[in-house]
Structure 1
Amino acid sequence: MEAVWLKATGDEKVFLHGLIQIAAAFHHHTRRNPAGFGSLLEKGLEKLTRVSGLGTEIDLEGLRRQLRPWGRFAKLAKEPRPVRGVAESRTGPAPPLPRIERLG
């Protein structure tokens, strides 16, 4: 996907960059890096919001809706943890993983 993003222009480039950042965010999440996860998720969501009128077959609004709970989860997980295990109780269970779906 990165090779396609590098050649893209305009809204398509912003859209692809947002998807790449979100994928990288979830990589950070699996590596237990809440700062990297939260930062990239926020940047990726911002890009997907900017291209809301992009004529793709992807349900962007549905994807953004699925990612919003993850944004809240990331903010809670980044807060300092005075006691081991507190973050898990503070954030609760992780939201369902997002799925990219086609329109129609």
Structure 2
Amino acid sequence: MSEHSAKELLEKSELGIHGWDLVSEGGKLKLQRSWKAKSFMKALEFFQLVAEVAEAEGHHPDLHLVCWNNVKIDLWTHSVGGLTENDFILAAKVNALHVENLLRRKASD
């Protein structure tokens, strides 16, 4: 998927992928989003919920836990070395998870 196409998809609010950023790392386009969990254990619970959705979709993101409560997800299709529609579908499904009890009030806290 081209960067232009990816940006167009990100701008479509009806897709439910707000909060995700388009990044280029090593020439690969990725969707990326970060959150702050309430605690270390809540961060792991968050990842478990994401893992369940990812496993059901057969599409597995890169999950990062930095320090004790900073969680980050990188979405990209490893087999094509960039973004596909599946990445946007998984981003929307992650956004639809009910994780308010696991995260700090503001995603940017």
- TM-score normalized with structure 1 length: 0.29
The structure with the largest strand share of the pair is 2
Q: Relative contact order: is structure 1 or structure 2 higher (C-alpha 8 Å, sep ≥ 6)?
A: 2
The structure with the largest helix share of the pair is 1
